Structure 1
C-alpha cells in the first residue's frame, strides 16, 4: 500500500490485488450485502440497470433499485433479480426530492447506497440525498456518482459528520464541478484534494485517493471506456464490492481494475472503441475471479 501524500501512487496490478484479497463471504446472499441503487429519470432508467447489474456481477448478494414510478415496471422486468420500487417524479420526469417512506425504509436497511446514476436534476437530487443519507445506517457504505456529485459540490454537508464509508466516482467534468476549477494534468493530486475535502475515497479516471493521502493508479484503461453508460458500470462495481465487505479504498481499486480490464477483454471482439457498457457488465465477474 502507498502510505501518504509524499509518496508516489502505487500501480494497480494483479499482484497488488492478490496481496489485498477481497472478502470471501460464506453463507447465503445476506452475507454479501444489500445494495440499493437510487437514480434514473423518465428517459434514463438504463443507468440504474447498468449500475445494479454491475453490482450483482461484482458479488453483491441482494439488489434493490429505486427509480421513477413511470419506469419501475419495465425495469423490474429487465432485472428480475432485483426488487424495484417507484419514486415520485417531477413533471419533467426527474426523480422528485419528495422522498416516500418506503425508500427511507430501504435506505435504513441497505448495506450500500449508490446514488446518482441517471439522475438529472441537481436540486431534486440534493433534497433526495439529505433524506436518504440521513436515514442510512451508521455503518452503511455510500457510492456517489453523476448528479449526486453535483449536489455534493453545492452542499459538502451532505457527507459531513456522517459515519458513512463513502466512495466518489467522478468523471473529469464532475471533478471540475467538485473542485470549482479544472482538475489539471495531475489527476492524482486532484483526487487527493477531493478525498481530503470530503473525507471519502475518490476514483477519478484511473486515479484512486484515500482521505489519508494514499494514492493508486490504474493503467489498463483505454479509450473504449469512454462509452455511454460506462461510468454507471464503474459505480455499480464499486457498490457491489462494498456489499461483499471490501473497504472503500479496496473496492475503488478493485473496481477500477475490473472496469478497465473488462474493456480490454472486449477489445479483440469489438475494437478499442466498439463495445458497449452493457457488454462491460458481462465481463466483470470473470475479470474479478481471474485476478
Structure 2
C-alpha cells in the first residue's frame, strides 16, 4: 500500500530527512532530477519550465539544467530575475541554471508566454507547490490559462498549480497535468475531487532511502491500495463449495415509493457471490418486487397503506437475520424500522441509505454521542456518502467537502465507537474505508458510477462479501476496499458497453462477477498486469 500524508506531515518528514543527513539542497536536486527523468522518458525535445518564487520553483530550475545537459531544448519562464529570488536555495539553483546556459523568459506578457509555448512538446509546472491555498494571483493565473490551452504534455511538480494538495479543491483554474511527480508521498488533494482530473498519472519520488521509514513513522492519514494488497482478503478458488458455504444475505429495505433500491441491492449481493439471498420488503410491494427476481425469495413485512415499514416489522427482521450470515438494511426504506433491533443482534451488518438516516435520527444527528448504539461484537459496516456522513456527525448543514474532511468525520464515528469491528466506507469521488487503526483507499472508480442506485449496488456487494467471510475477516477495512475496487471495475466495464454517461446502476450488477474475477485474479497473481485493473 502507498501511504498518504497530510501536508504538515510531509514537512515533518522533510525535517526528519535533514536530521538524518539529507540536506534541503540535496532534496531539491533529487526532486528536480526526478522530474527531468520523467520528461526525458516522454521523449520531449522542447520543454518549457514555469518556475515560481519558492522551493517548488527551485525544483524547476534544477530540472531545466538537467534537461539542458541531456540535449533538450529548454527554457524557463520566471516572474522575476533569478538574482531577485528571496530564498537562498532557490536563488542558488536558478543562478546555476543560468550559468549553465538555460535561457529564461522573465516577466512575460500573455503573448510572450504563448510564443514560449509554441512548438513545445512538454511543459513543466513548478509555479506554486504544496504550500499553496486560496486563489491564484497574477501572473500565475495567466500562465495556467496558457499552459492548459497549449496542447503540450504537462508534468506538474508535487501538485498542479492552483490545486490545494491538502483539500483537492481549486478556487479557480488550475493546471491540468498529464503527469504529477509528487515528492516523498501521496497527498490527499491529489486523489479526490478536482485532483482526480488535474493530476493525470501520479508518480511518487521518495528522494531518499530513509523516506519510507520516516513516512510510516509520520502516521499516514490513509493508505492507497495496490491490487496485490488484497491477497490477505481474497480466497483461493475452490470447487468444494455449496450455496451454504458461500454465505447467505438478508436484504431489508424498500417502500412504496422506492421499490427498486432493495431489488438492486439483493441482485448485487447474489452477483457478488453469496450462495443465498433473501429480500424482505413491505408487504404491499412484494408482488412488484417478485416480478423482477426469479432466483431470490421475497418476504413481506408489516407496513402501512403507503408501503412504509411499521414498527412491528422489527421483530420479524431480527428473526430472519438470525438465519443469515450477514444482513443489509436501508436501501429505499424511508423509516427506521429494524435498524436499532439489528444493531442489537449478533449478525454481521451493513447499514446504508435510509438506514444511515435512521441512525442520524436515533442519535439526534450526532452518532458520536451514542457509542453504545454501534458498539457490538459482530462486524458493522456503514456506507455513507458525504451528505449522509455529515448528518451522522452533526454537520447536516455543513457536510464534508473534501477527502481530508471526509476522513476526519469518518474517524469521529469509528473512534467514538471504540471497537475494532466497525468500518465507515466514506463514499465520494475518492472513497475511504476507515477503521479504528487505519483508513484504506481503493483505486477510485470511473465517473460513470455517479448515478442513482450505484450505492445500493455497492451495499449489496458489501453484505455479500461480509457473508462469504462468515464474519471472520482478518482485515475488515481492506475487505471493504476490495469490494469498492470490484464495484469500480464493474463501472468501467459498464462504461465500455454503454458509454460514460449512459451507465445506469443496473448495468453494474451483471458485470460484478466479471469484475471480481479480474480484480481477484490480479491480486493473487500481481505480476500478470494487475495494475491495469
Same fold by TM-score greater than 0.5: yes
Q: 1:119 to 1:14 in 2, by over 3 A?
A: same
Residue 64 of structure 1: aligned partner: 278
1:271 Cα deviation after fit: 2.1
- Stretch of structure 1 that moved more, 81-90 or 178-187: 178-187
CA contact (8 A) 1:207 1:215 kept: yes
Q: Mapping of 1:75-94 within 5 angstroms?
A: 75-94=289-308
SS at match of 1:272: coil
- Stretch of structure 1 that moved more, 238-247 or 55-64: 238-247
Q: Based on CA coordinates, which of the two structures has the bigger radius of gyration?
A: 2
1:28-58 deviations in Å (ceiling 9; x for gaps): 1111111000000012111111111111111
- Does 2:434 align with 1:209? yes
- Does 2:479 align with 1:251? yes
SS at match of 1:164: coil
Residue 220 of structure 2: aligned partner: 7
Q: 1:4 to 1:42 in 2, by over 3 A?
A: farther
1:224 Cα deviation after fit: 1.7
1:248-268 deviations in Å (ceiling 9; x for gaps): 323311111011111112222
Q: In structure 1, what is the Cα distance between the partners aligned to 2:413 and 2:256? A: 31
In structure 2, which of residues 415, 422, 425 is the aligned counterpart of residue 196 of structure 1? 415
- Stretch of structure 1 that moved more, 203-212 or 155-164: 155-164
TM-score, normalised to structure 2's length?
Answer: 0.50
- Does 2:259 align with 1:40? no
Determine which structure has greater relative contact order: mean sequence separation of CA pairs < 8 Å that are 6+ residues apart, divided by chain length: 1
Q: In structure 2, what is the Cα distance between the partners aligned to 1:259 and 1:226? A: 12
Q: Mapping of 1:18-57 within 5 angstroms?
A: 18=231, 20-22=233-235, 26-57=240-271
1:190-222 deviations in Å (ceiling 9; x for gaps): 32222223441011121111122x111123323
In structure 1, which of residues 134, 142, 145 is the aligned counterpart of residue 352 of structure 2? 145
> Structure 1: 5+ residue runs without aligned partners?
none
Q: 1:91 to 1:269 in 2, by over 3 A?
A: same
- Does 2:389 align with 1:178? no
- Does 2:459 align with 1:235? yes
Q: In structure 2, what is the Cα distance between the partners aligned to 1:290 and 1:16? A: 15
1:218-245 deviations in Å (ceiling 9; x for gaps): 2332322110100000101111111111
- Does 2:506 align with 1:287? no
CA contact (8 A) 2:348 2:466 kept: yes
Q: In structure 1, what is the Cα distance between the partners aligned to 2:274 and 2:339? A: 22
CA RMSD of aligned residues (A): 2.3
Residue 137 of structure 2: aligned partner: none
Residue 131 of structure 1: aligned partner: 341
1:280 Cα deviation after fit: 0.5
1:79-108 deviations in Å (ceiling 9; x for gaps): 121121101112332121212654332122
Q: 1:220 to 1:100 in 2, by over 3 A?
A: closer
Number of equivalences:
283
CA contact (8 A) 1:107 1:133 kept: no
